[in-house]
Amino acid sequence: MAYRGRHINPQRFERGQIKILLILLPLALFMALPIVFIVNHAFKPMEELFAFPPTFFVRNPTLDNFTKLIKFSRSAGIPLTRYLFNSLIVTVLTVGLSLLLTTGAAFAFSKIRFRGRNLMLQINQIAIMFVATAVLIPRYMVISRLGMIDTVLAHVLPLVAMPVALFLVKQFVDQVPDSLIEAAHLDGATDIQVYWHIILPVIKPAVATAMVLVFQQVWTNLETSNYFTNDESMKTLTFYMNTLVNASNGVAGQGVAAAASLIMFIPNLILFIICQNAVMNTMATSGIK
């Protein structure tokens, strides 16, 4: 195991890595170009936004786009901070509940034998193939029947279950030796104690990857604000930014749209940077089963 870990994620630079870097560095720079463009685009003045031929890098950076965004939000009936607060609450609750449900279900499906387990696993596999639009009407009927319209739960409940994350985490739980769990049971540990003290510490990379996937789904979600929420004060920051972009389709509004796009992109980038080691370990471990 030590040999495998050293070569997948080496702690020190080795001469043999030079040939790999020569191949991966140009590819990494190419993959980073969209991020560089988004950042530069948000700071372009009006004349550069509509320059022809288009410029990739900003020549005269300015904060006017962000200033216009703040002024526009102040003129609205509901302050920007309210949308931001809603998004933070919804994101924290949804990510937390989703990870708890995903890891618990993965442990049950992988290590606990019960009637209907295979059928439920097949249902989860089938659910991966459905896009959100295909289940929009059933979701709305459930939310409406439960009386959750215009509540925080209308944002949280439809996004808690994520079949892809469950499938990913279960693959990691499958790799935990059954003998380790049996030894814990012989020592008097309950299933909850095994889940908390053995399973979760072992599958941390998969949990971090699932967190990134769930966060991206929640942070960029428009469905709940569009269809499950009528009260403007209960909508999220993503909905407000999308409305702002659509309302500023004119020439003068393109700078505001560029600034809004950067603001919505930054949290995803920060979370990935924080969790990148865990995500890379997840991909590596999944590839050497």
Residue 272 · residue 212 · CB < 8 Å: yes
> To the nearest whole number, what is the mean pLDDT of the chain?
84
Across the range 34-52, mean pLDDT stands at: 85
Q: How far apart are CA 47 and CA 61, in angstroms?
A: 11
User: How far is residue 44 from each of residues 32, 39, 101, 175, measured CA to CA in Å?
Assistant: 19, 9, 44, 50
Residue 231 · residue 150 · CB < 8 Å: yes
Q: What share of the chain is helix, strand, coil (3-state, %, to 5)?
A: 75, 0, 25
Q: How far apart are CA 226 and CA 240, in angstroms?
A: 11
Question: Is the predicted pLDDT of residue 288 greater than 60, yes or no?
Answer: no
**Confidence tier at 170 by pLDDT (50, 70, 90):** very high
* 172-176, Cβ contacts within 8 angstroms, sequence gap of 24 or more: 172/106, 172/202, 172/203, 172/205, 172/206, 172/282, 172/285, 173/106, 173/107, 173/109, 173/110, 173/111, 173/199, 173/203, 174/110, 175/285, 175/289, 176/110, 176/111, 176/202, 176/203
Residues 225-247: tens digit of each pLDDT: 999 998 888 999 888 888 776 66
Q: Which of 2-11, 94-103, 274-283 shows the lowest mean pLDDT across its residues?
A: 2-11
Residue 149 · residue 114 · CB < 8 Å: no
Task: State whether CATH 3.30.70.240 applies to domain 69-287.
Answer: no
Q: What is the pLDDT of residue 7?
A: 47
Q: How far apart are CA 34 and CA 28, in angstroms?
A: 11
DSSP 147-171: T-TTSHHHHHHHHH--HHHHHHHHH
**Confidence tier at 131 by pLDDT (50, 70, 90):** confident
Residue 257 · residue 248 · CB < 8 Å: yes
**Confidence tier at 279 by pLDDT (50, 70, 90):** low
**Confidence tier at 250 by pLDDT (50, 70, 90):** low
Q: How far apart are CA 210 and CA 231, in angstroms?
A: 31
Question: Is the predicted pLDDT of residue 248 greater than 80, yes or no?
Answer: no
Q: What is the pLDDT of residue 249?
A: 56
**Confidence tier at 110 by pLDDT (50, 70, 90):** very high
Q: pTM of this prediction? A: 0.80
Of 62 and 78, the structure prediction assigns the larger pLDDT to: 62
Residues 91-105: tens digit of each pLDDT: 999 999 999 999 999
- What residue segments make up the domains of the chain, in order of their start? 69-287
